[in-house]
Structure formats: C-alpha cells, structure tokens
Amino acid sequence: KVPAGAGAAALTDDPEVAQPCGEGWLARHFHRPVVQLYSEIGSGDWLDVAFMILTAVATPAVFATLPFAWARLTYAGGAITLAVMMAASYYSSLLLCGLHTWNVTIRHCRYRDLAFSIWGRKGWTIVLAIQQLACIGNNVGVQLAAALCVKDLSEQSGGSAAKISLAAWLAVFGAIQILLSQLPTMKQLRHLNFLALLSMITFVVLTSVLSVKNGRELQRMGDGADPPEHVLIEGTRSRTALRTFSAMGVIANSLANRAMPEFQSLTKPPAVANGKKAVHLVYTVLASCYFTIAATGYWAFGNSASQLIIISLFPETGVAVKVLDCLVIAHALLNWQAYARITYEVLDYILVDPLDGDLMTWRNSLARLAGSVVYTLTISFVAAMLPDAYDEISVVTGCLGFIPLDVVMPLLLWVAVMKPNKARRIAHHVMAFFWIVIGILIVVGSVAGVVYDFDANSFFANISPDEELGQTGGA
C-alpha cells in the first residue's frame, strides 16, 4: 500500500519537510511510494533551480553549434529564429512554472504528474514517452560530442593516445557516468552546477574572443585566401529547405529544457515565485551567451563555420582549443547526469525496494547499479553505432525536447487549467498549431537528411573531430 501522502507534497513553509510529490499513476501501478526525490523537494533556493536548468540546457556541446546553424540561415534568419524560439520558450516556461501548484494544495514535481493531474492517464503517457526519448537522445548526442573532444585532445597530444578509437573514448565516458550515477539524487550534484555555469561563461567568452581574433586574421590574409561569406548557401530548393529545417532543429536543441517541473521541485516555497525568478535569470544568461557566440562565430567564419565552432579555430590557438575541449567534456558530464536522472527515477520505481527505506542499502544499490549500467551501455552503443549522425541526432532531440515539452504542452495545459478569455485561448491554440507544424517539418527535414547522406555514413566508424564536427554550414 502506498503510504499516506505518497504522490503529493503539501505546500509548507518548513524546508525540512521532505515528502514525495506528484500524483503519479506509476507509483500507484507498482504500489510503491516515490523514492528518488524524497531528499530534494523544497531543499534549495531559486538559484539552485537556475543553476540546474542552465547545466541541463546550456551545455557547450550543444550551443557551440549555433554558428553552424546561422551559416545555414544567414544573419537575419539565424537571429530571428533564435529570438523567436527563445521568446516562445521563455513565455512557455513561465506558464509551466505557474502550474507547479495549480490546484493549491499539491506540488507537481514531475512533468508527467503535472500532465496527469490535468489531462489524466493520456497526458501522463504522452509526457513520459516524449520526455524519455528526448532525454535519451540528448545523452547520445552529448556523449558523442564529449568523446569527439577527448579524441581531439588525444590526437593533438600525439603518441599512443592518438591511436585510441572513438569507441574506446565513448566507453571511458560511459564508465565515469556509471560511477556518478550511483549518487542517489541530483542533490549531490547541484553543488557542482555553479562551477558548470562558470565553465559555460568561460567557454562563451574564450570562444568569442578567439573567433573575433581569427576573423580579423582572415580579413588581413592576402589573395590566397577567400574572405568569409555571409550569404544564403546556394543549392536546389529541396536541399535549401533541408538545411533550413536542420538549422532550426539545431537552435531548438540548444534551448530544450525537457524537465522544468523536476528542476523547479528543488526550490523552497513559494515554489511558483522562486521558479519564475529562476526562469528570468536563466533566459538572461542564455540570451547573452547564445547571441554572442552565434554572432561572433558566424562573423568570423561565415558559411564555413564548423558544426562545433571550436573545430573552426586556427591550429595556432592550440592551447586555447585544448581548454575549450576540456570545458565541453566537463560540462557534458553534468548535463548527461541531469537528464539521466529522469530515466533513473522510472527505473527506481521498478528496481528499488521502498521497504528498505534507504536508496543506499546493498539490495537497492545493486539494483540501481544494474539499471545505470544497462542504461549507460545502451547510450554508449547507440553513440558508437551512429557517429556520423551527430547532426541528425541533435536535430531530432531538439525537436522532441523543445517543441512539445517546452512550447506546445505548457500552452495547452495552461489553457486547460486557467480557462482564459476567448482571445487568449485562440492565441494559445494558434501558437501550439504553428509550433507543431514547425516540429513536423524539422523531423521530416532530419529524416530526409539521413536518407540523403545514407551512402556516405557508416556504422561504428572511427571518425575524427575534423571529419565529423568539421562539417561546415554549406555541407
């Protein structure tokens, strides 16, 4: 029998009260109380939430692709697309924060449980499926980008390390993640999130400075070098459309949150006010960093901007590039964990014995170890199998994480709860329809890109960063 109070956290000003939260069908289906978030609910302030969101969203492995996206859209197209998507995400995040305690007495600390409280079993199932796919896809792309950066470092160092394959580096990254996964909750990781924020800002500043420096050098070069081009890439209509939708997916992936209610659950009451303060800070940082790195990277390299901007930097900046590689790897470790926890919690329902009363008993520790090993091996295997599909993985993940979870569902959930006037209700439905169409086009473009490049791709390829992430906006 589920203990009294399981599935809901009463609103309280006492931060020491640690209760499960969210009216979860899964808990009742397995007749088990919530375990994973017991020690986290209401235990932090709004800065903890902001740092956690920034760690999950703004990883260099993702937003370093923005100049590449702008290279397919030009200045105007890239800036407008990024601004519109960021504004839509900001508005929907505020709506989602306001629904955290929509029925006054319960804190809905999981996205799927919030959907369940409003739409019933259908909403719970939709969110669970999309959220898991988006989080898994994110981790495949992030792990692949981190392994490519490690391989880049090893090739720069020379010697025997340069001969280590990409699959081996993926395995090393996975082994580290298995160790980090044994920490029982995200609470043990959140103290590192401020350092992750500093590493993100350092990455943006250093990359932007180096991009401007390299751009000026390109402009001073003689007749033997062409200046960077900043025009729409020529090609057939179908290929141009494919590049456009792919670039939109890359931008969407850089803004995808996927787990706003889970992160908001960390804050003390008043949860709604603190959650909105966190959102304001998050999007201030995102706007400052994203437009800076996108504009400077595209200005410096134009249509030749690589898929990961640090690959475009001149070899003469070797030490700085090594630092940037290290920042990508360090941030990827925490970003991977933030989204793995969404899947781990579902596994805990199935594997962990709640009667032990402690996640760290021998029985529960072994069960969680088995679950994390299977999950990590699956992510590592997919990343090793599809190294050439990094671009498509990023696009699809961005579409799954951003369009339905960050934009469409908050609009519709807010209308279902708040019952606004007719004008605002119609506006929300129109915006939801618009973004659904955009999402479909992005997915179609991504699938078409996979088909278009199928002959050039190979499974389990031992690619180098210059081969994969060196692909330019014109490719």
Residue 32: its pLDDT value, please? 44
Could you tell me if 217 and 314 are in contact, meaning their C-beta atoms sit under 8 angstroms apart?
A: yes
Residue 161: its pLDDT value, please? 75
Name the region of 20 (left: φ>0; alpha: ψ -120 to 50; beta: rest).
Answer: beta
- Residue count of the chain, please give it: 475
As a whole number of angstroms, the distance between CA 420 and CA 412 comes to: 11
Burial environment of residue 13 by CB neighbours within 10 A (0 to 12, 13 to 18, 19 or more): exposed
As a whole number of angstroms, the distance between CA 65 and CA 380 comes to: 22
φ, ψ of residue 240 in degrees (nearest 5): -65, -45
pLDDT in tens, the chain (475 residues): 333 333 334 333 333 333 344 444 444 444 444 444 334 566 678 888 898 899 888 888 888 889 989 988 888 999 999 999 999 999 999 999 999 888 776 778 888 888 988 998 888 889 988 988 888 888 998 898 889 888 888 887 777 777 888 889 999 999 999 998 887 666 556 667 788 888 889 999 999 999 998 888 887 764 445 556 766 666 677 777 878 888 888 898 888 887 888 888 888 888 899 999 999 999 999 999 999 999 999 999 888 888 888 888 876 666 888 888 888 888 888 888 888 988 888 887 778 766 555 666 777 788 888 999 999 999 999 988 877 776 677 677 777 778 899 999 999 999 999 999 999 999 999 999 999 999 888 888 777 766 666 555 566 666 666 555 555 555 5
φ, ψ of residue 257 in degrees (nearest 5): -95, -55
Task: Find how far residue 296's CA is from the centre of its chain.
Answer: 23
As a whole number of angstroms, the distance between CA 431 and CA 459 comes to: 39
How far from 276 is each of 90, 103, 107, 108, 348, CA to CA, in Å?
Answer: 10, 18, 15, 15, 30
**Prediction pTM value:** 0.83
Could you tell me if 391 and 449 are in contact, meaning their C-beta atoms sit under 8 angstroms apart?
A: yes
As a whole number of angstroms, the distance between CA 448 and CA 396 comes to: 12
Q: What is the DSSP string of 256-311?
A: --S-HHHHHTTBPSSHHHHHHHHHHHHHHHHHHHHHHHHHHHHHHHGGG-BSSGGG
